[in-house]
Structure 1
């Protein structure tokens, strides 16, 4: 949100995520039409936007300037942008923008470690502020603009380390060896410390004040669920997000943690939260299973909510009321755990009634939230029951749960798939007609399920999934390898286990037909992971269709490609899971 109340947002009307501007009266202007997806940030005090864009999903982000002071007859293309950080061989990620400076990370020094660079917007002069190495996730600039707090991944599974760079401090502020995740929201009043969401010395994340000497002090906490926080730019207010089973509720708090007001809104998925410069309100992009994304303005004093954009208004009238709201369940496992799971019941009267699709999230240090998913809704409207679990190792349920698949515990998460399969009859579903669908780590889980539990699963849809943990770690981008090894296992120390946990090891047992989708430019999971499973199944005579998209990376960002791939993937499942009627 800028000083005049305009909102910078993203929309895929043009076929991929492009920038649009929403005026205070709700009118929308398309700002960009680039060959690939993009995102951006306002430059405070100027009618300018810094745009972050890549090429064909390669994640080698470039940063350019879009001038909004001149009127255009059409959205800006690449030729209308002024390059600011132009280095197509490396990843340059926009982190923050002040009135005078751009703060970004880049791996140009050695293609692995990410340095933090401050660039003067007028002179173009650059200063490397942080070069201690590692994978930088977040940065936050102090109010006096002298220093930066850096949140980077640590070598502890699901762990991060907070460091300081600049006159206010230098070096690690938290212990890199602690098994804890910290996420800096911003600098506290007077730059005397940081406001962070952290599970430091506790199971669930709380809101902490982190002093510049490394001392933690809890501001807001809950004993049975995670909290997140978004601090206002001036440090005087914060919105606290209470996260329960894939949805959030919100409250505004004072800077010292004192509760001010609850936000008048039912539980939603917060896609993004942006404070107004004066701290009087914040803009929330809110999603639910039946709302693709509404944009709301929240009064920070009263908690009152005003709709700027109604996400459901874009849905066709004949579809809107047919969308499915999932129910929440717990699936028992043989070792006494309970797997959280959302169920989207399938439409009645279909040839696939009684069949199911287990939809698996990526990560693995991520979660399935109750988002709007065209794929899940399409599967349910086709007639499939869609089950969306947060198997052990998923985020959103505390430190203990997210740690239950680390390293040699990997196959315990695969075993959870078997527990879900055993649970199907309690829902009246046919266990002989159940399939797996997942992307990235979810794609690995699809392949692991059909390989290691071949008698359970009738088909699978694998999207940018890992077929061999060994070849994946050998071939993934250098800046990602160490941080994937911390979760899956290190090549030099866990090679035998990585082989054991790789789906392709069990190739001889695989019988389920597969539909495989992959982007040719994927920097995370190389295309070779899909090609080798395709070649192996072809040699066995197992039905395996591979779709490769040459203008995509890690997943399908372009609508045309999604419309090409997903309906055919659903049809593939209908073909293999429909109910055979005896003559």
Structure 2
């Protein structure tokens, strides 16, 4: 029996944020309606926070304390606070119960790392645009700015002796990162910051981690490769030695704190495959069998090692697993679900997808998951909904989606593609939509539409659904291919690449221009590739959702496309939520919005 959208949205999911030496797990649970911190220990789940909006956190090593990152109504201006607890009666903590660490609501503060007695965070409080890296003592409040050379900061890793800080920053090319090494005790000013990789090199460098003696830096990179692998960088010369690679799969590696073991994640067509490798040689030690075939890396929180290297905690989701915290015993490789979210689905069988490669106009193939209804409403049988992921530097994986399952439950066949620009399929594929190739990804939608009859679907009853960049793809599909699509649902999407770049948060503009093109050099193409420019061609009804506090894609993007579509006399419903940002983080708002969106599609795709 199919689950409806309300029942699906009411399911509780868990995410894992941290783990202690004795196996206590800091997790996030959305049982209250937004993600709040809980501690899982000895089979007991203890609520830690009860804040108005979603939060994340990390344990403070060696103390019974948690660093909490929180914002206001989804505005992404993260604030950092400390939660200490001695007695269970003081929990769950509200905002006034937290000890302020870094608070200035006008600016963004993002937790990067936790150290004994200290936190490492990035902040744009210097000028509202550039991010500095700061180390702060949680006991004295003393701060040291260790990096302030401008731009975005993506990740940091502090060497165990605290002398060196590895910083990754955006490089020149889209989806490329540069590794810098900051020496906190340099002999000369020239030795303070060293460029470990070249800024012009088109390669990703992610998840940097120091060896315990600071003689090497383990990093995931696709330098001179199509598929990402795990390498050891010499912090003096930048020379790399490959530890674990694959010609078939993108890998990510996380080094244990004691430097002995690598946890390696392989992306197997949207399914996570995990293994433990010897960190010195790269040799395989053991394969980890997860509780379900699903996904356990980005966009979920990445796996985290315990300080003593005996445990790894990770988040797992699968088409039939809403979301669990999983604890891995490194000695045995055993992986145990701590939360058991699938039990909430007792008596129901969520649909699992089949995997396809859809041919394109130029000889490429678009990876695509297809979710087919088992008992469709005859009025909706044969209809198709394409759900496009955001990013574009992201991918659709085999994870639980209440929206996908509800659409299938209604009777639609749901296609979840990884069009050009998606990650998980190598550098060539994720680079195929950069800059002036943007409309090649939009053309992939047309190829998917052409393919519908081959799996028994009616091309005259096909709709688009997407959020963020996926929202841009929805609007672009309606504007550039008006004859193909019967309806669209746009969630926090970009309607004009020009006005988006003009009005997005200043600290994001330069970062996003690497992907889309710059206002200075590419305004003509940005205008050409904008759905708003072609709004007169839109012929399908539109449903738009947006958060009023969205710092990434401003509300004006939704308002201007809604006005243009309504001016044509077409149906366009615009729902704006005053306590949300880039997406709907609160269950109460999702329960209001998503049933309306599904009813909208059912009306327009019914025979």
TM-score using structure 2 length: 0.93
Secondary structure in structure 2 of the residue aligned to 1:15 = coil
Secondary structure in structure 1 of the residue aligned to 2:352 = coil
Q: Is 1:524 matched up with 2:552? A: yes
Q: 1:348 aligns with which of 375, 389, 406?
A: 375
Q: Is 1:306 matched up with 2:336? A: yes
8 A Cα contact 1:50 1:66, kept in partner: yes
What is the alpha-carbon distance in structure 2 between the residues aligned to residue 144 and residue 469 of structure 1?
45
Q: 1:559 aligns with which of 583, 587, 597?
A: 587
Q: 2:346 aligns with which of 302, 311, 317?
A: 317
Q: 1:336 aligns with which of 358, 363, 380?
A: 363
Query: Paired residue for 1:263?
Result: 288
Bigger mean CA deviation after superposition, 162-171 or 59-68: 162-171
Q: 1:5 aligns with which of 14, 23, 28?
A: 23
Q: Is 1:326 matched up with 2:353? A: yes
8 A Cα contact 1:155 1:482, kept in partner: no
Query: Paired residue for 2:10?
Result: none
Give CA deviations for 1:361-384 in whole Å, capped at 9, x if unaligned: 000111111111001000011111
8 A Cα contact 1:347 1:384, kept in partner: no
Query: Paired residue for 1:102?
Result: 119
Bigger mean CA deviation after superposition, 266-275 or 211-220: 266-275
What is the alpha-carbon distance in structure 2 between the residues aligned to residue 264 and residue 464 of structure 1?
37
Alignment of 1:114-513 (within 5 A): 114-166=131-183, 167=185, 170-212=193-235, 213-256=237-280, 257-265=282-290, 267-270=293-296, 271=300, 272-313=302-343, 315-319=344-348, 321=349, 323-350=350-377, 351-513=379-541
Query: Paired residue for 2:97?
Result: 80
Give CA deviations for 1:440-477 in whole Å, capped at 9, x if unaligned: 00000000000000000000000000000000000001
Bigger mean CA deviation after superposition, 449-458 or 271-280: 271-280
Secondary structure in structure 1 of the residue aligned to 2:347 = helix
What is the alpha-carbon distance in structure 1 between the residues aligned to residue 121 and residue 312 of structure 2?
24
Query: Paired residue for 1:16?
Result: 34
Counterparts in 2 of 1:316 and 1:203: CA distance versus 1, 3 Å: closer
8 A Cα contact 1:185 1:229, kept in partner: no
Give CA deviations for 1:215-234 in whole Å, capped at 9, x if unaligned: 11100000111000111122
What is the alpha-carbon distance in structure 2 between the residues aligned to residue 152 and residue 246 of structure 1?
27
What is the alpha-carbon distance in structure 2 between the residues aligned to residue 353 and residue 68 of structure 1?
54
Secondary structure in structure 2 of the residue aligned to 1:328 = strand
What is the alpha-carbon distance in structure 2 between the residues aligned to residue 86 and residue 306 of structure 1?
37
What is the alpha-carbon distance in structure 2 between the residues aligned to residue 436 and residue 306 of structure 1?
37
Give CA deviations for 1:220-260 in whole Å, capped at 9, x if unaligned: 00011100011112222111011121111111012211221
What is the alpha-carbon distance in structure 1 between the residues aligned to residue 128 and residue 268 of structure 2?
38
How far off is 1:74 after superposition?
A: 4.2
What is the alpha-carbon distance in structure 2 between the residues aligned to residue 343 and residue 326 of structure 1?
5
8 A Cα contact 2:23 2:311, kept in partner: no
What is the alpha-carbon distance in structure 2 between the residues aligned to residue 260 and residue 465 of structure 1?
44
The number of aligned residues is 575
What is the alpha-carbon distance in structure 2 between the residues aligned to residue 340 and residue 349 of structure 1?
25
8 A Cα contact 2:21 2:310, kept in partner: no
Give CA deviations for 1:327-384 in whole Å, capped at 9, x if unaligned: 1000000100000000011243412111010000000111111111001000011111
What is the alpha-carbon distance in structure 2 between the residues aligned to residue 20 and residue 500 of structure 1?
48
Bigger mean CA deviation after superposition, 418-427 or 347-356: 347-356
Counterparts in 2 of 1:316 and 1:247: CA distance versus 1, 3 Å: closer
Could you tell me which runs of 5 or more consecutive residues in structure 1 were left unpaired when the two chains were aligned: none
Give CA deviations for 1:544-570 in whole Å, capped at 9, x if unaligned: 000000000000000000010001100
How far off is 1:205 after superposition?
A: 0.2
Secondary structure in structure 2 of the residue aligned to 1:161 = strand
What is the alpha-carbon distance in structure 1 between the residues aligned to residue 553 and residue 289 of structure 2?
41
What is the alpha-carbon distance in structure 1 between the residues aligned to residue 277 and residue 480 of structure 2?
49
How far off is 1:318 after superposition?
A: 3.5
How far off is 1:73 after superposition?
A: 5.2
How far off is 1:98 after superposition?
A: 0.9
Give CA deviations for 1:112-163 in whole Å, capped at 9, x if unaligned: 1110000011110000000111211111111112221111222311111111
Could you tell me which runs of 5 or more consecutive residues in structure 2 were left unpaired when the two chains were aligned: 1-18, 187-191
TM-score using structure 1 length: 0.97
How far off is 1:185 after superposition?
A: 3.6
8 A Cα contact 1:410 1:501, kept in partner: yes
